[in-house]
Amino acid sequence: MLNERPDIAVLKLCEKDMEEGGGCVWMVEMAWIGYNCILVTVSACLVIFISPVAAGSGIPQVKCFLNGIRIPGVVRLKALIVKSFGVACTVGGGLSAGKEGPMIHSGAVIAAGISQGRCISLPLDFHIFEEFRSDREKRDFVSAGAAAGVAAAFGAPLGGVLFSIEEGASFLNQTLTWRIFLAATISSFTVNFILSIFYGVSGFLSWNGLANFGVFENSNYNIWEIPFFLLIGVIGGLSGALFNWLNMQLSKFRRKYVTSHTQKLFECVLVAAVSAFTGFMTLFVVNDCQPVGINPNLTDVNKLWCRNGEYSAVANLFFQSPEESVKSLFHSPINSYRASTLFIFAVEYYILTLWTYGLSVPSGVFIPTLLTGAAWGRLVGIGVEHLFPDVTGVDPGKYALAGAAAQLGGVVRMTVSLTAIIVEATKNITFGLPIMLVLMVTKWVADVFNEGLYDAHIELNEVPILGWNPPKLSRNILAERVMRKDVMAMEQRERVKRIVQVLRTTAHHGFPVVDTINPPTANSQFPDYGHLKGLILRSQLITLLSKRAFSYDYYGEHMVEGYSPVRLSDFRDAYPRYDESLDRIYVSEQDEHCWMDLQPYMHPHPHRVPLNASLQSIFSLFRGLGLRYLIAIDDRNCVS
Amino acid sequence: MLNERPDIAVLKLCEKDMEEGGGCVWMVEMAWIGYNCILVTVSACLVIFISPVAAGSGIPQVKCFLNGIRIPGVVRLKALIVKSFGVACTVGGGLSAGKEGPMIHSGAVIAAGISQGRCISLPLDFHIFEEFRSDREKRDFVSAGAAAGVAAAFGAPLGGVLFSIEEGASFLNQTLTWRIFLAATISSFTVNFILSIFYGVSGFLSWNGLANFGVFENSNYNIWEIPFFLLIGVIGGLSGALFNWLNMQLSKFRRKYVTSHTQKLFECVLVAAVSAFTGFMTLFVVNDCQPVGINPNLTDVNKLWCRNGEYSAVANLFFQSPEESVKSLFHSPINSYRASTLFIFAVEYYILTLWTYGLSVPSGVFIPTLLTGAAWGRLVGIGVEHLFPDVTGVDPGKYALAGAAAQLGGVVRMTVSLTAIIVEATKNITFGLPIMLVLMVTKWVADVFNEGLYDAHIELNEVPILGWNPPKLSRNILAERVMRKDVMAMEQRERVKRIVQVLRTTAHHGFPVVDTINPPTANSQFPDYGHLKGLILRSQLITLLSKRAFSYDYYGEHMVEGYSPVRLSDFRDAYPRYDESLDRIYVSEQDEHCWMDLQPYMHPHPHRVPLNASLQSIFSLFRGLGLRYLIAIDDRNCVS
């Protein structure tokens, strides 16, 4: 499809003119740049004006969501639509961006939507899967969706499972593992089946993802090659760490100076123009024509500016889809690319990718990073070949594979899942071992300098994500110091007036329930709370109010008019948008003097820590149990 | 090596005699059975008299250990030696047993040993890795060791990581994941390197485990074959569930009636004799001779009782190493085995495996189960071929692979890790998808009937393992009902006399520290404890006693003679055998009146739950945080 792009057609028409020294080529270039800019503008507008959360790869957002942080709109239909249309435009517009990250995000959105059996945006409620309407269940589905996304993108179901375990699911258990696995399996199966129809061999299921890196024919390697693989790992680690550092500086710059819609849009268009211009100029300046004979699978695109029987190595890199370019770097015969071409391409693409990631368009970082790495990896391979001219079987494609893995590993710092993804995407298990070694070395080297790209972006956005390990020195910080002092507690039976007032004046999501509340003493601004009896959530209180679950007298013997019994499903139905209902609740003055009995609804034994608990131990409670609330109690079990 | 076994040599000598109707064959059979019985006797004696915990595959024991349960001797040198020598004898003795499970156990023992930097049995202390001398660190090492074991056994580093995640590590985190991965990688690399030397292509690293199932040449499959794969999944699930049920009945019988050393030894020898007899008789009775032409890689063993130019399919199954037989079932051409041979073999081997698992010898269940499954899977393949005689490309080997996966999946109920192991062991990623489908179906079907073999054995041994999910209906059981009522608490400053007395009269591993202890009231047999202040471990108290960390007066101003300051490393040095030191501590009458100050050593903020906490929530605390102690407190924060 890419081969039939109108700009290419014009370019071919022009070829003759150019050979005669005409100026047609500049016209073509303008047309090309214009075409790319239009597509990228569409993509950027979608993101900027409709769903800003759909920018970037989406993996950081999914990671935050799975960590239990509710970023508004991450798993909404709007994000899905913008993401999928947007990414098509981004990739079509020639940006150095991949579609794999967005595909993972899309998988997560679809999973979240299906699990809820309804769509609030449309609005549509099928009244199915109602038991899944809770944060915990939704998270599990999103983990599975992300795995299914990886499975579809790379044809890597095992990679998908490992991705969810390594990067995603904060709260893993065994049952979840095999559910994720099921989702990934079915996703692969579906992709395989559709691809088999697409390629006209309907029903023959081979193991193909959408990004397919081809099969290595020569899959031997020798132990003396291991040091070179390790070297590639070191280079990948350094280059990845540098990438992350530069991208962070760029992102900080953007947050400061590229803030308005127009500025953002302008930057996207600028990048599109520069990307197109770079490719074009490189093709024009670097004259790397190779005989066609040694390289199969060439199309007209590859033959630009070269004589008959030759093709342009540069066009091979710049003007195919990135997946095809990666494939070509992996599998082309030894002399398909000049070293200088590879070097120029790697540097250019590195910079373009750097600039692209963080723009307001949906764009993944997987494929462009793999492509950059494959280019310099192949360069290393050519170097090794020159060092050992007598040894046969030095295939630069192997080194391209190692380089691709190293560059991506250096940027995202995945190890186990990335190995599985690459092994599955190349359908080759023999190179698993060197890839593993490369990725381990890469991670070690890169981790010395900074953290992975996704984590860095999460931190930049100041998302309070809980990592795997507690912060250093947290052993010496006690609960007293980190707890919120402005806790609002409820008594077991509480006046409606106070509940409404507390809900409307605070944004707390949970309220401890205590047996007595005494007014603040002289030396404290906060009330003196009694023994901890339970915990009630903001959402529960809102639901109780809307169901008018309160009574005229203290002991709940005379319920108010309009009272309807509260069932478990009532709490679920309001999920996940409670606060909207709060505005709709009308409480009369008479109601305000009524009593609400919280005892039947509260969580009777919430998790608690003493005031002298260390931050480390609090961290492991939050992380290990997936908690959202933890109540600090003093020596007498009173809320502090 | 197997091919040069003395019995085989005798057998060949006899062949001529037998053709002439002589009785030589019976003599050979006796020799054979004798040879097998001797080997099995050695193996059984090692287990029965030296290390009973080395019996079986060891995976259940490792699983318990990783769950935090200290089974005596599981990760000791003695177990390693018995396991490795024993399994060689078991497999050499012709039992239907594999060496892969024991290899995983061995990996775990080695990891535990290395991590401690010493060996108590020898005794040897290198004074390295002292910081790893704690339960938690040792567990992490054992997870990695198990993964390394899988990586070595099947050449499956990814499978090893997934195995540790799915079956082993109860308390996983991301850091642990990539450490496990590193261990698995290095293990594979080492095995590959040694194998490359062994096979005389030193330095050429291909992806080989010790159990190598060969490479499929024809790796296509079509969508119409999927229902047959699913059928295989169902058969595997049923057959696996039946296997587990029968093995449980057998194990219960054994616990009741096979209890003395002699009985156990006799049973092992009996099984060895029956196994040898069965193979021999089958070879004798089933006369399945096939032309050599179509099957490469034949040795003399395979040609028994057949004319020149022919080989015996039965010998191919019974008298090669099981790994070779599996390979042969996967890759032999279509007509290599008669359907009846496969059927008889599958049934016989199923029963033999059933009988073998649970004997007092080190024996794994992976390979024999794979072999059984491969046999009936190939049978299904032959059936499919008969159903669709016109379709080419129906390779019974594919079905053998699916059958092997299904049978093993039905017995052990692994899904993700088993897929990875099989994919890596066959070096073929194309069949990953059908294998996944088969394993999912198998798990669904089998889980209807009972649980996995390992879990069943763990339960049979009444090990209080904490599964992934809390028991059903645990929501309605409260802490009050499940807690131990006979808690012994300590005051913050305690008389040495009481400490010694408590340590010697109870076996509790942890003691809450409270501010006051009042004598029991009239309506309770237990003392009335004050506010919870901390938790001190038995091991800490013993170390404090041995360091004489007590003083003549209440406020600790005059320490006793012989007092030496207690450092963190003192607590570590005693690990893991504290109780032995308790017996060696001498406390004089004068000492008994001294005071020990527990405050500096106790854990100041132990985890606590209120009396009305549900068992479900307690379960998730234990499971999520890897706790060993949880203190139940009443409304006033007093220990109950």
Residue of B nearest to A181 (CA): B416
Class of domain B223-256+289-461: mainly alpha
Q: Which of A207, A433, A617 sits opposite B192 (nearest CB)?
A: A433
The total of other beta-carbon atoms located within 10 Å of residue B408's CB is 28
How close does chain B come to A574, measured CA to CA in Å?
A: 25
- The CATH 1.10.3080.10 domain(s) of chain B lie at 27-199, 223-256+289-461
Is A419 in contact with B221 (Cβ distance < 8 A)?
no
Q: pLDDT tens digits for A402-435?
A: 999 999 999 999 888 898 888 888 877 778 888 8
Mean model confidence pLDDT for chain B? 82
Indicate the range of A109-118, A322-331, B226-235, B466-475 predicted with least confidence.
B466-475
Q: pLDDT tens digits for B503-523?
A: 888 888 888 898 888 887 777
**Complex prediction ipTM:** 0.79
Q: Which residues of B touch A423 (CB under 8 A)?
A: 158, 429
- pLDDT interval class at B206 (50, 70, 90): low
Average pLDDT over residues A223-239: 91
Is B605 in contact with A610 (Cβ distance < 8 A)?
yes
Is A636 in contact with B633 (Cβ distance < 8 A)?
no
Is B193 in contact with A223 (Cβ distance < 8 A)?
yes
Average pLDDT over residues A613-640: 81
Q: Which residues of B touch A613 (CB under 8 A)?
A: 605
How close does chain A come to B617, measured CA to CA in Å?
A: 9
pLDDT of residue A203: 64
Q: pLDDT tens digits for A30-57?
A: 888 888 899 999 999 999 998 888 888 8
Residues B134/B575, Cβ–Cβ less than 8 Å: yes
Q: Which of B158, B203, B637 sits opposite A158 (nearest CB)?
A: B158
Average pLDDT over residues A334-361: 89
Q: Which of A221, A613, A621 sits opposite B625 (nearest CB)?
A: A621
Q: Which of A440, A469, A613 sits opposite B185 (nearest CB)?
A: A440
For residue B154, which amino acid is it? F
Rg from Cα positions in chain A: 29
Is B162 in contact with A161 (Cβ distance < 8 A)?
yes
The burial of A436, by beta-carbon neighbours within 10 Å (0-12 exposed, 13-18 middle, 19 or more buried), is given as buried
Q: Is the pLDDT of residue B208 over 80?
A: no
Is A423 in contact with B158 (Cβ distance < 8 A)?
yes
Phi-psi region for residue B214, left (φ > 0), alpha (ψ -120 to 50) or beta?
A: left
Q: Which of A223, A419, A637 sits opposite B203 (nearest CB)?
A: A223
Q: Is the pLDDT of residue B2 over 50?
A: no
CATH code assigned to B27-199: 1.10.3080.10
Average pLDDT over residues A568-584: 71
Q: B312: which strand partners?
A: B289
Tell me the C-alpha distance between B536 and A187, whole Å. 52
pLDDT of residue B445: 94
Is A166 in contact with B177 (Cβ distance < 8 A)?
yes
Is A633 in contact with B637 (Cβ distance < 8 A)?
yes
pLDDT of residue A1: 33
Mean model confidence pLDDT for chain A? 81
Residue of B nearest to A151 (CA): B433
b/e for A515-543, b at 16 or more Cβ within 10 A?
A: eebeeeeeeeeebebbbbbbbbbbbbbbb
- pLDDT interval class at A343 (50, 70, 90): very high
How close does chain A come to B432, measured CA to CA in Å?
A: 8
Q: Which of B443, B605, B620 sits opposite A625 (nearest CB)?
A: B620
Is A185 in contact with B468 (Cβ distance < 8 A)?
no
Indicate the range of A117-121, A371-375, B259-263, B370-374 predicted with least confidence.
A117-121
Count of A–B CB contacts within 8 Å?
A: 184
Angle between helices A174-198 and A135-154 (to 10 degrees): 40
pLDDT of residue A448: 93
How close does chain A come to B342, measured CA to CA in Å?
A: 29
Q: Is the pLDDT of residue A139 over 90?
A: no
Indicate the range of A455-464, B156-165, B167-176 predicted with least confidence.
B167-176
Average pLDDT over residues A602-611: 86
Distances (CA, A) of A634 to A608, A616, B638: 10, 18, 12
pLDDT of residue A638: 79
pLDDT of residue B237: 95
Longest dimension (CA), chain A: 98
Is A177 in contact with B192 (Cβ distance < 8 A)?
no
Q: Is the pLDDT of residue B300 over 70?
A: no
Average pLDDT over residues B424-451: 87
Chain A contact probe: residue of B478, B480, B637 with most A CBs at under 10 A: B637
- The CATH 3.10.580.10 domain(s) of chain B lie at 479-633
- pLDDT interval class at B571 (50, 70, 90): confident
Query: Which residues are CB-neighbours of A155 under 8 A, at least 6 positions away?
Result: A188, A191, A192, A207, A208, A209, A210, A211, A212, A424, A425
Q: Which residues of A touch B531 (CB under 8 A)?
A: 635-636
For residue A100, which amino acid is it? E
How close does chain A come to B40, measured CA to CA in Å?
A: 37
Residues of chain B above pLDDT 70, percent? 85
How close does chain A come to B299, measured CA to CA in Å?
A: 28
How close does chain A come to B157, measured CA to CA in Å?
A: 8
Q: Which residues of A touch B633 (CB under 8 A)?
A: 637
pLDDT of residue B3: 40
pLDDT of residue A231: 94
Residues of chain B above pLDDT 90, percent? 18
Residues A158/B420, Cβ–Cβ less than 8 Å: yes
Class of domain A479-633: alpha beta
Is B204 in contact with A193 (Cβ distance < 8 A)?
no
pLDDT of residue A4: 43
Is B165 in contact with A158 (Cβ distance < 8 A)?
no
How close does chain B come to A440, measured CA to CA in Å?
A: 7
- pLDDT interval class at A492 (50, 70, 90): confident
How close does chain B come to A1, measured CA to CA in Å?
A: 27
More confident of the two residues B482 and B344: B344
Q: Is the pLDDT of residue A2 over 50?
A: no
Q: In the sheet that A510-514 helps form, which strands lie side by side, from edge to edge? A: A490-491, A510-514, A532-537
Q: pLDDT tens digits for A525-555?
A: 778 888 888 889 888 888 888 888 888 887 7
Average pLDDT over residues B137-160: 86
Residue of B nearest to A419 (CA): B158
